[in-house]
Structure 1
Amino acid sequence: MSQPSIPKGTRDFSPEEMAKRNYIFYTIREVFKLYGFRQIETPAMENLSTLMGKYGEEGDKLLFKILNSGDYLKDIKDEELTERNVNRLATKLSEKGLRYDLTVPFARYVVMHRNEITFPFKRYQIQPVWRADRPQKGRYREFFQCDADIVGSDSLINEVELIQIIDEVFHRFGIRVCIKLNNRKILSGIAEIIGESDKITDITIAIDKLDKIGLDKVNEELASKGISQKAIEQLQPIILLEGSNEEKLQTLRTILEKSETGVKGVEEIAFILDRLKIMGIRSQLELDLTLARGLNYYTGAIIEVKALDVQIGSITGGGRYDNLTGIFGLQGVSGVGFSFGADRIFDVLNQLDLYPKDSIQNTQVLFVNFGEAEEKYILPVITKIRQASISTEIYPEAAKMKKQMSYADSNKIPYVAIIGENEMAENKMTLKNMQTGEQQLLSLEECINILTSVK
């Protein structure tokens, strides 16, 4: 018989890994709630009509489609099968698909529930998504997204609060990060003043690679896209802009003074930075003109977060967008949001060994089982210990002591409680520290005090 397996691009998680992941989700959830965000969930599967056409041609290819139940071939003609037109067949064989991200389902949710929602609407969502991508290191077909969005408000205070959330979450994790900021309007203004407004996407795709391929290669790519040499020369001092955020803004005000759009973008970034300065941010904040992040999607602020002590890609990203719900016929609902990369954060915390001990510890004390009489004595004791919020187990059978101790050791249970005839006679228990080997004869109250103090 062949060994069982799981689909490529998916993963099993051990109890220890799940404890770590739950720590990540719990921390993010608590900060979202602290800032007044409310949780929603949407179904794992959506109607294909909801998903198709929202992610571009390549995105449509990466959608996992679900075969219709029952006789899914009943409406398919033989010649259609022979034709092998995959896209046409897919629309007839599948009416539903697994969600590709949380943004489109959220847009659908807002439209469907618009009469129940009070705007501005602050929602967060922590759920898995699926993409039929080619699996590789750090890229999976099933992964979690942790999204927060504020829709129905144009106020830049929303951007300020989202950056505060990012700062607070990474502070709690103990991860040093740099929060990079840019603005779509600044990028549009730059393209405008160098006379290449229609090439804004090509320009931003090229300059976004500056750190990876260097300035010469960026200039080569710009030239290959038909951007004039004069425009490339004008671009150099802009993309290589250095100095503090305030100095960069002052330079940009001069460079972009003839671009109304560009000036507006500069003032938006200045507003955000000013308010954050008042609030006090622990993370590094950097105005980065090479930051684009899906330029066609964003209309204002663009946010990206990089870990400072680990070589890894972006671990959080987002920005301001207009008309989120326009794809479903509800016009004019703008918003701003971002997503924490839970899987990358998991990797960073592992590499830096930043998980708090109590976040991955489960059972705190195991009671040894000597037999029926001891078992009856122990069960009410365990109930009282659990009432003190101490995670407790009893070994389910009267096995050899070595086996029970091995169980505690394998599961990293820090304490073992022993109640035999002598302990029962004295109404006490022997508590063994599995790390030091130290043993103490204690009353129930003393045991609870010790276990509570080391939680």
Structure 2
Amino acid sequence: MSTIKPQNAKGTRDFGPIESNRRNFIFSTIRKHFESFGFMPLETPSVENLDVLTGKYGEEGDKLLFKILNSGDYLAKAPEDTLAAKDSRGLTRHISDRGLRYDLTVPFARYVSKNQNDLAFPFKRYQIQPVWRADRPQKGRYREFYQCDADVIGTDSLLCEVDLMQIYENAFADLGISDISIKFNNRKILLGLAEVIGAKEKLTDLTIAIDKLDKIPLEKVFEELEGKGFTKDQLSKINPIFNITGTNDEKIAIVTSIIGNNETGTVGLTELNKVLALGKEVGLTRIDFEPTLARGLDYYTGAIYEVKLADGSMGSIGAGGRYDDLTSVFGVKNLPGIGISFGADRIYDVMEARGLFTDIDNSIDYLIINFDDSMELDYLRLANQIRKNGHSVEIYPSNAKLKKQMSYADKRKVKKVIFFGENEKSEGRIKLKELATGTEEIISISEL
């Protein structure tokens, strides 16, 4: 048998003990803030039926779905003409009916629709699980990554928008990332702009193109829109929104002048103004109205968010929005919803680059040095006493040379080493050494 090169699938990563410990810190911090606002945990399967997933993320999103081949001879039921024509899209319908989830929002909507009679609305849930996208891997973008979502469904109250932005500010502050900006917009404003220029039916084309502004220059966005049938006159009318600067109030004034009396856009501006006012009253300081924020997913209908670093060193590290009609595709109407997501993998990269993990990298409190096999029972008893008092402890498994055991303690980032041999046992004492400082002390076992 040939030797297999032990490498990861492209766009995926392993996480060793140090990385896992750091990631768990991120997850537990975010979870704490979700729960502080009354959100409850939920988990859904990694695999969903393709009819659940397709058509919810736009044409671009559908291309990034990981599809799973049907079990058995998956080509047996494929039409001969489709095989002969090498029609991959047509063939997919016959050989695959399942896929890996693209996000956590659509599976959540499916869950709510399936269990609507058993849930108390508004229903608030959080979910911390991996998702998969067949994207081109690059810095901060992976094919398998974790999302940390919080959603509330069954109410259209704008208090939900304020709560979710508070979660963002509180959680990022707790993680040590305080230089964030919560980019905020409303899809009704974008729809209003589309209506003003006579392109209501092309809202999806507009939002998909605008959503690429952080990747391609404005002229390329306009070229794409012209290719979708937008006229130069239409684009000139909305061009001012791409050059807006100033305070939130100043930017809102400019957008209001462009929207004019358009009813849809006015509703969006009214909602946005109320959220900004409520946010100001509860001390939110990092909300930045961004009229070009589009969020290219088809299901958003109201408020939309993106969280970015002030220095621009990373793409969005959080995003979300309102999706008032999402459950209707599952036959359940009148269940407005809104949610946010934390990009855990990007958050990890930011924290690692900034050295924010220093205080959580110690993985174990004590290591008991093994001097003699005859003292194994003594070591076990001592370790159990320490654990009962809420500390982590490990016994080195063999009486190896002291240098080897101390080297192990250093690599494991042990806080304190316990020296407990025959002499210490006869005296009822132990010697402690703190590895970070080299400080040593002798104390009684009861003191420990």
The normalised TM-score by structure 1 is: 0.89
The gaps in structure 2 that reach 5 residues or longer are none
Match of 2:110? Answer: 108
- Cα deviation, 1:265-319, whole Å, max 9, x if unaligned, reads 111011101111111125x211111111116332111111101245111111111
Matched-pair contact (CA < 8 Å) for 1:207–1:239: no
Q: Which runs of 4+ in 1 moved over 6 A?
A: 77-80
C-alpha distance in 1 between matches for 2:210 and 2:88: 37
C-alpha distance in 2 between matches for 1:288 and 1:377: 65
Residue 366 of structure 2 is aligned to residue 365 of structure 1: yes
- Distance verdict in 2 for CA 1:139–1:242, change over 3 Å: closer
Matched-pair contact (CA < 8 Å) for 2:140–2:314: no
Matched-pair contact (CA < 8 Å) for 1:44–1:99: yes
What secondary structure is seen at the aligned counterpart in 1 of 2:126? strand
The gaps in structure 1 that reach 5 residues or longer are 448-455
Which of 332, 335, 341 matches 1:333?
335
- Cα deviation, 1:85-143, whole Å, max 9, x if unaligned, reads 44454444434322222122112111111111111111111111122333333322211
- Cα deviation, 1:393-433, whole Å, max 9, x if unaligned, reads 00011111111111111111121110012211111111112
Residue 435 of structure 1 deviates from its aligned partner by: 2.4
Match of 1:425? Answer: 426
C-alpha distance in 1 between matches for 2:175 and 2:127: 20
C-alpha distance in 1 between matches for 2:219 and 2:350: 32
- Cα deviation, 1:151-210, whole Å, max 9, x if unaligned, reads 111111111111111111101111120011111122222333345445544555555555
C-alpha distance in 2 between matches for 1:91 and 1:113: 28
- Distance verdict in 2 for CA 1:46–1:195, change over 3 Å: closer
Matched-pair contact (CA < 8 Å) for 1:366–1:408: yes
- Cα deviation, 1:382-401, whole Å, max 9, x if unaligned, reads 11111121111000111111
Which of 260, 268, 274 matches 2:263?
260
C-alpha distance in 2 between matches for 1:78 and 1:234: 51
Residue 350 of structure 1 deviates from its aligned partner by: 0.7
Which of 98, 101, 117 matches 1:99?
101
Residue 322 of structure 1 deviates from its aligned partner by: 1.9
Residue 67 of structure 1 deviates from its aligned partner by: 3.5
Matched-pair contact (CA < 8 Å) for 1:10–1:142: yes
C-alpha distance in 2 between matches for 1:16 and 1:364: 15
- Distance verdict in 2 for CA 1:235–1:46, change over 3 Å: closer
What secondary structure is seen at the aligned counterpart in 2 of 1:146? strand
- Distance verdict in 2 for CA 1:190–1:99, change over 3 Å: closer
Matched ranges for 1:431-446 at <5 A: 431-446=432-447
C-alpha distance in 1 between matches for 2:297 and 2:57: 14
> Which deviates more from structure 2 when the two are superposed, residues 79-88 or residues 1-10?
79-88
Count of matched residue positions in the alignment of Structure 1 and Structure 2: 445
Which of 223, 244, 249 matches 1:241?
244
Letter matched to residue 32 of structure 1: F
Matched ranges for 1:142-221 at <5 A: 142-175=144-177, 176-205=179-208, 207-208=210-211
Matched ranges for 1:314-329 at <5 A: 314-329=316-331
Match of 1:135? Answer: 137
What secondary structure is seen at the aligned counterpart in 1 of 2:167? helix
What secondary structure is seen at the aligned counterpart in 1 of 2:21? helix
What secondary structure is seen at the aligned counterpart in 2 of 1:132? coil
Residue 376 of structure 1 deviates from its aligned partner by: 1.8
C-alpha distance in 2 between matches for 1:245 and 1:390: 50
Matched-pair contact (CA < 8 Å) for 2:369–2:395: yes
Residue 347 of structure 1 deviates from its aligned partner by: 0.6
What secondary structure is seen at the aligned counterpart in 2 of 1:192? helix
Match of 1:296? Answer: 298
C-alpha distance in 2 between matches for 1:315 and 1:87: 33
C-alpha distance in 1 between matches for 2:34 and 2:388: 29
- Distance verdict in 2 for CA 1:116–1:314, change over 3 Å: same
CA-based RMSD: 2.6
> Which deviates more from structure 2 when the two are superposed, residues 408-417 or residues 85-94?
85-94
Residue 298 of structure 2 is aligned to residue 279 of structure 1: no
Match of 1:305? Answer: 307
- Distance verdict in 2 for CA 1:235–1:308, change over 3 Å: same
What secondary structure is seen at the aligned counterpart in 2 of 1:432? strand
C-alpha distance in 1 between matches for 2:93 and 2:198: 44
Match of 1:15? Answer: 17
C-alpha distance in 1 between matches for 2:213 and 2:67: 37
The normalised TM-score by structure 2 is: 0.90
Match of 2:411? Answer: 410
Letter matched to residue 293 of structure 2: L
